[in-house]
Amino acid sequence: MPPRIDIEKCDGCKAQEEPLCEQVCPGGLMSLGENMKAYCRQLRDCWDCMACVKICPVGAIETRVPYQLGYHVAKLIPMMGTDTVTWTCQDINGKVERFKYRNRNDAE
């Protein structure tokens, strides 16, 4: 299930040495193109772990279900807080669900 990048939103992580999505991809799939926008070098190789989606500071990345597996168009959008995460999911019929929970406690 490959990432889909909104190049209007992506700011290339403001020329940081290594953009965040590139840093976290466990398969090393994300990179910056000549245009300083992120791209996934091999859509078929994505493991849909959503690490890149979660870390993008401007919400430029979305995971898409390939059409052979699922219908058009469902969305799952995470919002990362410091110790909580909120997910919004919209199904193909427009039904929206929201999930919010704590993903970190303070270390002892």
Q: What angle do CA 86, 14, 46 make, to 5 degrees?
A: 55
Interacting residues with ligand SF4 between 26 and 65 (CB under 6 A): 26-27, 29-30, 38, 40, 46-52, 56, 58, 60-61, 63
DSSP classification of residue 12: G
87 is catalytic: no
Q: Is 78 in the site for ligand SF4 (CB under 6 A)?
A: no
The smaller minimum CB distance to ligand SF4, of residues 55 and 91, is found at 55
Please identify which of the residues 47, 58, 66, 92 carries the catalytic annotation.
47
> What CA–CA distance (Å, rounded) separates 19 from 41?
14
3-state class (DSSP) for residue 88: strand
| Minimum distance of another protein from residue 43's CB (angstroms) | 5
